[in-house]
């Protein structure tokens, strides 16, 4: 039933298109709000699912992925949902083993140790092995009943390559940086391979029902501007144009896309020219400065420091109102500057998203 074309086409009508309107530069009644990592460990109901199922089992089981995607929407009046998955499902689909260790994060028992191993990656059939993400998206589009749009996502090539070489998260990314120095040709070969897979993966997500696609370049903070220009920007651009082209070839409507380069404040001017409708900002970037750099024809998303959610409600209100005033109501999506952290108090999150008076205050203060 999942793969049935009709099942994919006959989705409930979208009732709240605020976020999609903002992404395409249309007027909005209120500033749209969503939260990076909104389906996650700060929610007891997510912890309950995780107590019973391994992380990647949740990703691979459409019913479970759908359930945890919907969880934050039951508590908070968010303007979007993001499909529950992880950026590291791509290295898995290429044949690498990835485990999620509680408290430690992702671990690759056998990371790439030499460029000769690039040829062992199984590009062929990679997207077919990721069809479970498409199934989760299609199921969620039905179950969400048009309440808010559903965002699909991927990791960007440089960020994925970093995890594949480091074997997990890394504070220094020293091995990856060594590869950039020693084997630039092989690095470009691997980044190109990842780009091809990512384009087809995103097209599959759009075909399955994703209404916006976000590309996470979460390791951009390790790149200088020069390295960003060489190892990130060209691939991000190819991804945007590739998705657009392939959707056109399939007679499908283009889907708005967001690029979020964490720590990418060094190259906002370049990011603004990659063809994406929305640019995500982390909290180190000043909204007014960012707008000056990127111009008027792109939507900005961000950028409250997730750590600010540990402050008092009064302080958070002040910081949020200040942020929204700086961004303005037009072409803006309110969000955190990175993922919400596991210990964030539930009621703080509630305040910023469900309290109508707070939302109205935000709008009135513009």
Q: Which residue has the tokens 């708005």?
A: 256
CB nearer ligand CP3, residue 162 or residue 242: 162
CB nearer ligand CP3, residue 217 or residue 291: 217
Query: By the 8 A CB rule, do 327 and 319 touch?
Result: no
CA–CA gap between residue 275 and residue 278 (Å, rounded): 9
In the complex, the smallest distance separating the C-beta of residue 65 from ligand CP3, rounded to whole angstroms, is 9
Active site residue 235: no
CA–CA gap between residue 366 and residue 325 (Å, rounded): 6
Of the residues 21, 75, 86, 225, only one is catalytic, namely: 86
The DSSP code sequence of 318-336 is HHHHHHHHHH-STTEEEEE
CA 170 to chain centre: 20
Distances (CA, A) of 11 to 17, 139, 141, 353, 354: 14, 10, 6, 26, 26
In the complex, the smallest distance separating the C-beta of residue 42 from ligand CP3, rounded to whole angstroms, is 9
Active site residue 141: no
Number of Cβ within 10 Å of residue 211's Cβ equals: 23
Of the residues 17, 18, 42, 50, only one is catalytic, namely: 50
In the complex, the smallest distance separating the C-beta of residue 219 from ligand CP3, rounded to whole angstroms, is 7
Active site residue 74: no
CB nearer ligand CP3, residue 291 or residue 334: 334
In the complex, the smallest distance separating the C-beta of residue 47 from ligand CP3, rounded to whole angstroms, is 8
Contacts with ligand CP3, residue ranges (CB under 6 A): 36-41, 50, 55, 82, 84, 86-88, 100, 102, 105-106, 153, 169, 216, 218, 262, 339
Query: By the 8 A CB rule, do 164 and 111 touch?
Result: yes
Of the residues 21, 37, 129, 196, only one is catalytic, namely: 37
In the complex, the smallest distance separating the C-beta of residue 91 from ligand CP3, rounded to whole angstroms, is 10
Active site residue 29: no
CB nearer ligand CP3, residue 64 or residue 87: 87
CB nearer ligand CP3, residue 163 or residue 327: 163
Of the residues 42, 79, 141, 163, only one is catalytic, namely: 163
Query: By the 8 A CB rule, do 191 and 228 touch?
Result: no
The residue at minimum Cβ distance from ligand CP3 is: 218
Active site residue 41: yes
Of the residues 41, 75, 196, 225, only one is catalytic, namely: 41
The DSSP code sequence of 137-166 is HHHHHHHTTTSS-EEEEEE-HHHHHHHHHH
Active-site residue numbers?
Answer: 37, 41, 50, 86, 163
């Amino acid at each position: 039933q999942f793969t049935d074309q009709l099942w994919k086409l006959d989705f409930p009508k979208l009732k709240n298109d605020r976020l999609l309107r903002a992404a395409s530069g249309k007027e909005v009644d209120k500033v749209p709000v969503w939260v990076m990592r909104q389906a996650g460990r700060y929610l007891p109901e997510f912890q309950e699912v995780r107590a019973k199922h391994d992380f990647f089992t949740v990703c691979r089981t459409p019913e479970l992925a759908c359930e945890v995607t919907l969880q934050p929407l039951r508590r908070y009046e968010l303007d979007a949902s993001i499909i529950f998955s992880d950026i590291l499902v791509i290295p898995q689909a290429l044949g690498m083993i990835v485990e999620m260790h509680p408290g430690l994060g992702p671990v690759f028992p056998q990371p790439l140790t030499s460029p000769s191993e690039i040829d062992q990656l199984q590009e062929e059939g990679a997207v077919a092995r990721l069809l479970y993400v498409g199934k989760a998206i299609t199921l969620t589009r039905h179950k969400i009943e048009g309440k808010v749009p559903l965002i699909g996502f991927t990791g960007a090539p440089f960020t994925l390559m970093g995890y594949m070489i480091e074997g997990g998260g890394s504070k220094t990314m020293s091995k990856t940086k060594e590869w950039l120095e020693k084997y630039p040709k092989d690095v470009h070969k691997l980044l190109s391979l990842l780009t091809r897979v990512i384009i087809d993966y995103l097209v599959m997500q759009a075909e399955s029902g994703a209404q916006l696609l976000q590309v996470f370049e979460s390791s951009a903070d390790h790149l200088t501007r020069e390295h960003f220009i060489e190892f990130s920007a060209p691939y991000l651009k190819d991804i945007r144009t590739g998705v657009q082209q392939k959707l056109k070839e399939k007679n499908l409507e283009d889907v708005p896309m967001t690029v979020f380069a964490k720590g990418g404040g060094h190259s906002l001017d370049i990011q603004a020219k990659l063809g994406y409708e929305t640019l995500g900002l982390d909290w180190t970037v000043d909204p007014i400065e960012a707008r000056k750099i990127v111009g008027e024809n792109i939507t900005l998303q961000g950028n409250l420091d997730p750590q600010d959610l540990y402050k008092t409600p009064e302080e958070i209100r002040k910081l949020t109102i200040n942020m929204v005033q700086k961004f303005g109501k037009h072409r803006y999506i309110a969000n955190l500057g990175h993922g919400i952290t596991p210990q964030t108090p539930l009621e703080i999150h509630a305040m910023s998203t469900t309290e109508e008076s707070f939302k109205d205050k935000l709008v009135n203060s513009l």
